[in-house]
Amino acid sequence: MAFFKKKKSSDLSELTLPEHIGIIMDGNGRWAKKRMLPRSAGHSAGSKVFRTIARYCSDIGIKYLTVYAFSTENWKRPADEVTSLMKLFKDYLEEALRDFKDDSIVVRFIGDKSHFNKELQELMVENEESSKDRDGMVLNIAMNYGSRDELVRAVKSIAQDVKDDKLSVDDIDEQAVSDRLYTAHQPDPDLIIRPSGEYRISNFMLWQAAYTEFVIMNKLWPDFTTDDLDEAIRLYNQRNRRFGGV
Ligand code: FPP
């Protein structure tokens, strides 16, 4: 287990840091509605918070951060909302390429890129390529991600390998599945945070979250602060993780 590299907004230096944090960035729509603003304003505010929290996690020494930005189901939203989200993704991906050249963060995308327009797909690949040799936090941005879809792909890949005589049925084990997920070779999340008070997993890292600690917070994502992240880590430290043992 790693410890905090830096003392940040509150004194957490004695606490154990989760190696991998997942965040379901929920509540943008409700935040906007409360202010009589369009939902896109909530996403815009949420994307600023995403930048702050990603930077903070990297600064305090988190090794892996996975954020749920767009699910396989989110395409069902009104076209103008989807368009505004795509614009926010494009802005961030361009900004990351332009301004974060000396950064240590490794950017990865989990999900099926092929549904995005060509420009976004290219930006995703460029971000992955230009950051892959860095040595800092791995930032997984889940875009067009759905855990069931991820598992179906893993099952198909296993079936194909069996058909091609690359894998025997007896050798299919948990590792064989894990190795075929978007998060292959990464540790499972220790902590998943869901702001906005909803008690749902929403098709996020179903396999990887087998022993994850969940922290649900009554804050909408655009109101989420670094102090809230500290609080989630404090709550995580109070949990007694047994991984099925005693
Ligand atoms: C869920 O809130 C949030 C989303 C579907 C989008 C999350 C995206 C961002 C925070 C922008 C991230 C940007 C980058 C650059 C990665 P909701 O709209 O379902 O909220 P509601 O439940 O209150 O309606």
| Residues 154-208 pLDDT 10s | 999 999 999 999 999 999 999 999 999 999 999 999 999 999 999 999 999 999 9
Q: Which helix (DSSP H) or strand (DSSP E) does residue 108 occupy?
A: strand 106-110
Burial class (CB in 10 A: 0-12, 13-18, 19+), 240: exposed
Query: Ligand 1 pocket: which residues have CB below 6 Å?
Result: 25-30, 43, 46-47, 50, 69, 74, 88-89, 92, 141, 221
pTM of structure: 0.94
Q: In a mutational test of the pocket of ligand 1, which residue from 24, 26, 85 has the highest number of ligand atoms less than 8 Å from its CB?
A: 26
Q: From residue 107, how far is each of 28, 116, 129, 181, 201 by CA, in Å?
A: 23, 17, 9, 17, 23
Told to judge if 188 belongs to the known catalytic residues of this protein, a careful annotator would answer no
Told to judge if 26 belongs to the known catalytic residues of this protein, a careful annotator would answer yes
The Å distance, Cα 146 to ligand 1 centre, comes to 15
Lowest mean pLDDT among 2-11, 24-33, 88-97, 205-214: 2-11
The answer on pLDDT for 49 being more than 90 is: yes
Per-residue burial over 69-92, b = 16 or more CB atoms within 10 Å of its CB, e = otherwise: bbbbebeebeeebeebbbebbeeb
Average pLDDT score, the chain: 94
pLDDT more than 70, % of the chain = 96
What would the mean pLDDT of 90-111 be, rounded to a whole number? 93
